[in-house]
Every structure is written in structure tokens, then in C-alpha cells.
Amino acid sequence: MTQTIEDLFDASIERYKAGEGPDTLIPVFKDICERARKSSPAWTCLAWLYLLDNKPTQAYNAAQKAVKLNPQDPQAQVNLAIAMLETSKKGVRDHIELAQQIMMVAKELEDEVKQNLEEGLSRKPDWKSLQRVQQWLFEA
């Protein structure tokens, strides 16, 4: 029985939630992104995994694709902002403001982003860029 891209994506998300690390999940999400090039959620996940794995340039490239495919995804915007901070790129504020605007209208997305940031800090406690973004988004 062959696994669909959606099944593979869902199974990989579950593996991540179970505590599996970026070292084993990055190749899986790279494959998903290759097979489903227009899947913003897959690119968003790949960017997040690269960020967790201290690969900000790859994270930036993946996050750019995710934002291009779905500019209304606040997590994609947040990932791009974090990657920009970590690669010293300009324009971070635009992505923070857009994420804030989207979350104002979609409260469930705000909760999801909050949970993701907290989860990121649980995996990488001294993540300065994430802490800055979290502060800008939720303590402003």
C-alpha cells in the first residue's frame, strides 16, 4: 500500500509531536516538499525544522517558499521572521506586523502560533531569535 503525501505529512507531524528531532525529520519533509511543491504547510514545517537544527539559511529559503505560497499563514511569517533575524536580513518588522494582523482576525491561529513558539523553546531553550519574536508578538 502506497502512502499519500497527506498521510506521510500527517504521520511526520505525529512523529514530531512524539518528540522526534529535526535530524530524522528534515529528510522526510524535504521529500514531501519535493513531491508537493505547492504545499505551504510542508514548507512551513521544513523551515521550522531547519530553525531547530541551527540551519538558518535553509530555513530562510523554505520559509520564503511557504510565505509565497500562503502569505496568510502567520506561522510561515513567524518562521521567516526568525530566519531573517538569524541571518541578519532586513525587513523582519513587516512579517511580524503581518502575522499580528492575521492573528487578530483568526484567534485559533494565534493560539497555534503561541503553542508552537512555546514548544520551540522547550526543544531549544536559549533560542534568542524566537524569544524576540515571541516578545514582539505577544508582549507588545
pLDDT of residue 139: 83
pLDDT of residue 3: 73
Q: Where are the domains of the chain?
A: 5-138
pLDDT of residue 2: 62
The C-alpha atoms of residue 33 and residue 117 are separated, in whole angstroms, by: 23
Domain 5-138 has CATH 3.30.479.30: no
How confident is the prediction along the chain (140 residues), in pLDDT tens digits per residue? 467 999 999 999 999 999 999 999 999 999 999 999 999 999 999 999 999 999 999 999 999 999 999 999 999 999 999 999 999 999 999 999 999 999 999 989 999 999 999 999 999 999 999 999 999 999 85
The C-alpha atoms of residue 115 and residue 128 are separated, in whole angstroms, by: 17
pLDDT of residue 140: 58
pLDDT of residue 58: 98
